[in-house]
A and B are shown apart, each in its own frame.
Chain A
Amino acid sequence: MTIFIDTLSWILLTAGGLFVFIGGLGAIRMPNLYTRMHAASLTDTMGVVLVLGGIMLQAGLTLATIKLAAILLFLLLTSPTASNALASAAILSGLQPKEGPVKPREKAE
């Protein structure tokens, strides 16, 4: 049973690290603000849930797990709110998202 939980938590941790790294890469490589926001929100949801879930499995039923659950809850509540506020502020300031297909030349904007 222990080895099962250990294996599961290592899998979750590795997948979480991978998601966090992919999101960071996307925040560098994506062409404009809104696509970058999409990449950053990947790390805020999938990365956080997987990494904190993996650590929770390691911690077992202790006070640490409750604290981790509180951190997870706060992050899941606040990060969409912050993203929404950021996107609406960007739209209101006149930064329009591009619509339609992007030509290869325009990608490196």
Chain B
Amino acid sequence: MYYAVTIATLVTMALALVRALLGPTIYDRLLAANMFGTKTVLFLSVVAFLYGRPDFLDLALVYALINFIGVIAVLEFIREREDSGEKLS
């Protein structure tokens, strides 16, 4: 049963990557990147129990924090760029 969740998560990660490549605006890409990060946390948690190695949960915890800080940092970067009048797509 862990396999079903793992496969669903992997498929969703692939779909998020497709959206990140297609995304018309830069915010679509950022949304897809955020989603990919959340799915990575889920994937790591499930894999930890699939292979019986609970150490992976620490990685998932760190990834959850890094992902949030990364998204906020990129948003701030985009805003700085747009304030200076540069056109981003």
* A and B associate in one complex: yes
Which residues of A are in contact with B by a Cβ distance under 8 Å? 10, 13-14, 16-18, 20-21, 23-25, 27-28, 33, 36-37, 40, 43-44, 47-48, 51-52, 54-55, 58-59, 62-64, 67-68, 70-71, 74-75, 78-79, 81-83, 85-86, 89-90, 92-93, 95
Q: Are B34 and A71 interface neighbours, CB within 8 A?
A: no
> Considering the chains assembled together, what is the distance between the CA atoms of A52 and B49 in angstroms?
11
- Extra 9 A-B pairs, beta carbons < 8 Å, given A25-B15, A82-B72, A85-B75: A36-B28, A40-B31, A59-B49, A74-B65, A78-B68, A79-B38, A86-B30, A86-B34, A90-B27
Interface residues of B in 74-88 (CB under 8 A from A): 75, 78-79, 82
> Considering the chains assembled together, what is the distance between the CA atoms of A82 and B76 in angstroms?
12
Minimum distance in angstroms from B26 CB to a CB of chain A: 9
Interface of B is mostly: helix
Q: Are A16 and B5 interface neighbours, CB within 8 A?
A: yes
Which residues in A have their C-beta under 8 angstroms from that of B4? 13-14, 17
Interface residues of B in 27-51 (CB under 8 A from A): 27-28, 30-32, 34-35, 38-39, 41-42, 45-46, 48-49
In this complex, the member of B2, B5, B49 whose beta carbon has the largest number of chain A beta carbons within 10 angstroms is B5
Q: Are A55 and B15 interface neighbours, CB within 8 A?
A: no
Which residues in A have their C-beta under 8 angstroms from that of B78? 89, 93
Given contacts A36-B31, A40-B35, A86-B31, contact A95 B25 (CB under 8 A): yes
Q: Are A71 and B61 interface neighbours, CB within 8 A?
A: yes
